[in-house]
Chains A and B, each alone.
Chain A
Amino acid sequence: MNIPYTVEERPDTGLANGKLGIWLFLASEVMLFGALFSTYIILRIGAVEWPHGELSVRLGMINTFVLIGSSVTMVMAWASLKLHDFAKHRLYLLATFVLSGIFLVNKYFEYADHLARGEGPSHSTFLAIYFTLTGLHGLHIIGGMVVMAYFLGPGARMWKKYPEQFTNRIEYTGLYWHFVDLVWIFLFPVLYLL
């Protein structure tokens, strides 16, 4: 069965189905992280004292660079497809995947460092919200990596037969990925600096 506007845009809305779908999903993600930011605010206001300097600003900053870089490579992966350069696309998508991996490795070092000193989520409200916010964000990174792996692997087959639809799917993946980057752009100063 053919569902209309899967690839071509509907004239009056100017949208393909997947484009609207991914943006609506991102809207719900805004509310998800919004609730956690609201939690952070409430807990900090209610706290007698709030820790400072417990997190490695250096590692956080490096990870911010890594994630911004991955956003650049992600949008380049999509742009390459628009220029019909499939090889370049795969290179950029792989770079995005690798950079995400580096982000997670850094996160692992951060977590391991705290846990080794007995500073887990139960240690204080600050660490609780830190682990929860960055943990949920990390899960979103893993989710993105799974999708990227799919498009590097079996999903890439779609390029030969339905290049436009494949390009759209990479665009939607990119939108999700930029959102993950955007969340981190707020997470970093809130948790590491303020």
Chain B
Amino acid sequence: MAPRETTMDNATTVGHVAHGHAHDEPHEELGFWRKYIFSLDHKVIGIQYAITGLLFLLFGFCLMMLMRYQLAYPGSPIPLIGGLFSPDKAPGGIMLPEFYNQLGAMHGTIMVFLGVVPLAVGGFGNFVMPLQIGAPDMAFPKLNMLSYWVYFMGGMTMLSSFFVPAGAANSGWTSYPPLSDIATMGQTIWLFGMVFLITSSLLGSVNFIVTIVQLRAKGLSFMRMPFFVWAQLVTAFLLLLAFPPLEAAGVLQLMDRLAGTSFFLPSGLVISGRPLEVAGGGNPLLWQHLFWFLAHPEVYVLVLPAMGIVSEVIANNTRKPLWGYRALVYSVIFLGFMSFVVWAHHMFMTGMGTAMSAFFQTTTMIISIPSVVILTALLLSLWGASIRFTTPMLFALAFLPMFGIGGLTGLPLGLAPPDIHLHDTYYVIAHFHYVVAPGTIFALFAGIYYWFPKATGRKMNDLLGQIHFWGSFICINSVFLPMFIQGLGGMNRRLYDGGMIYTHNAGLLKWNVMIAFAAWGLGLFQIPFIINFFASIKWGTVVDRNPWEATTLEWSAPSPPGHGNFLTEPIVYRGPYEYSVPGAAADFTPQFEPEKA
């Protein structure tokens, strides 16, 4: 994607002016490969992450649309494209259960690890954060480039698994043993893919933390940082400390699958009537502990950047400071910490005793407090505001009730007694999709509409944005709201035909038809977005550096910023949300504007 040519071409930026050591190359134009493919510039890398992440989101979405056809019309041939699938996946276009399981496992894996996090952290974090703190780039630009390409390799590895005999991983994104230990080849490839992705994440999180701590501009104390940066800082710590146990678990599962060990295989395991010929002595719950030790903080990785984006967009479009900045900061730090001690609420049904169960129920209830504080602060920020209903604001506003529903519906899951009924049902699917889909992904859309002008120098089209928003909002609620009903009725997840054999599902399966059409509708409503995104790069309204009249540092750089980001050294004079300051000339006083004499 060629950034729009600006008069910036020959301007020197701060980074150029101060020639430091270890920088011998002349400032000539870089070739195509060094400029766009193997760039060390955080903005290019951020865009690479964002585009790749969006493509994976689209792919994961397509996997889901296939699944939804099977659930709506079990056993009927997939229309139009059914013939494209090989006979070991969908003979005659009719989806095999094995293929359904592959789609399920890979949909989850791709959406979480290849889609949302790379976009939210790799994309938005990389592009926006250094600009918001007034840095010329990330602390370790080469490491940054490396982390993108390792992510890319991980993604390619995951995709390749569809093409091996017996197809992709099919033991859920959670890969529980013993099933995953004995599953087909695709699971091994999944494990190698995860090793790549975890490595990429670790390199990235080190970079993020060092950048935020070390490269803040003059005058940017921690309590003057935009909340988006705080969210990314806490997220980086979550990734840094929570991923390694999953890396270890992945190694252990690879050992089980390739070296014949029994880390997760208990003694006396019998499969298809035959005892498994292994040493035994392993523990399947060990995998669950190590997996969820990561996977629970991971869900906060999914949501924290989104909260950061929503905060920026709300402050900007209410023309008021955010309500309770300190409460937001302390809450997000406390939330990050607590996220490490709640994981076994995913394991209430594993035979856990009452003591540990009580421990995890308690911590889980406690962790809902900072979430509620954050959501309440954002809601209160709307009070008495002059709201500008721009496209990013529509998505940011929708995030609030959607995340609210997602969060509240998590409460019965976090308490063991109701969880007995709800575990592994569509209620769980509805809960977590509400937080991630109309929650996080809406926030990510808000971010795209909001920061697109900074990245390209042009605005996206508002009408297409409104169509995108309203269509998506209605469809996405139509997809997930009925799933609460299905789950409360006892409908199990991960069943390739929805569970036709169970009489208790009789009245619930019909919802699958409506859900399928809503899902396909949701897909159709992304078309205006995709058109808008690419068309605006070429034909969008040209804007200058601060089209939203915002207060944070990134809006002092040119749109798009050049190499080194800022034309003069950024200095911060005040907090991040000085909107409608009494006595000020405009209804916003940017952080970077010097005090009037």
B15 contact from A2, A13, A120, Cβ within 8 A: A2
CB–CB A125/B281 < 8 A: yes
A35 contact from B205, B206, B245, Cβ within 8 A: B245
Given contacts A24-B210, A136-B251, contact A162 B22 (CB under 8 A): yes
Shortest distance from the beta carbon of B268 to any chain A beta carbon, whole Å? 12
Interface size on B, residues (CB 8 A): 51
CB–CB A1/B16 < 8 A: yes
Give the chain B neighbours of A15 by CB distance below 8 A: 213-214
Alpha-carbon distance A127/B202, docked complex (angstroms)? 29
CB–CB B214/A5 < 8 A: yes
B137 contact from A1, A25, A42, Cβ within 8 A: A1
Shortest distance from the beta carbon of A20 to any chain B beta carbon, whole Å? 5
Most buried by B among A25, A27, A121, A161: A121
- B residues 448-471 near A (Cβ < 8 Å) are none
CB–CB B22/A25 < 8 A: no
Given contacts A1-B564, A6-B20, contact A125 B279 (CB under 8 A): yes
Give the chain B neighbours of A36 by CB distance below 8 A: 248
Alpha-carbon distance A193/B141, docked complex (angstroms)? 45
Give the chain B neighbours of A7 by CB distance below 8 A: 21
CB–CB A162/B21 < 8 A: yes
A6-20 Cβ-contact flags toward B at 8 Å (1 or 0): 110010010101001
- B residues 244-267 near A (Cβ < 8 Å) are 244-245, 247-249, 251-252, 255, 259-263
Give the chain A neighbours of B241 by CB distance below 8 A: 27-28, 31
- Dominant secondary structure of chain A at its interface with chain B: helix
CB–CB B22/A122 < 8 A: no
CB–CB B261/A35 < 8 A: no
Q: In the complex, given contacts A17-B214, A42-B286, A121-B261, what are 11 additional A-B residue pairs having Cβ atoms less than 8 angstroms apart? A: A2-B23, A6-B21, A17-B139, A17-B140, A35-B248, A38-B290, A42-B283, A122-B260, A122-B262, A132-B261, A136-B251
24 contacts between A and B (CB under 8 A): A1-B15, A1-B137, A3-B141, A3-B215, A4-B214, A17-B214, A17-B215, A21-B140, A21-B206, A21-B210, A25-B206, A28-B244, A32-B247, A42-B283, A42-B286, A46-B283, A122-B259, A122-B279, A125-B262, A125-B279, A128-B255, A128-B259, A128-B279, A162-B21
Which residues of B approach A to under 8 Å, CB–CB? 15-16, 18-23, 136-137, 139-141, 202, 205-207, 209-210, 213-215, 240-245, 247-249, 251-252, 255, 259-263, 278-283, 286, 289-290, 293, 563-564
Which residues of A approach B to under 8 Å, CB–CB? 1-7, 10, 13, 15, 17, 20-21, 24-25, 27-29, 31-36, 38-39, 42-43, 46-48, 120-125, 128-129, 131-132, 136, 161-162, 165
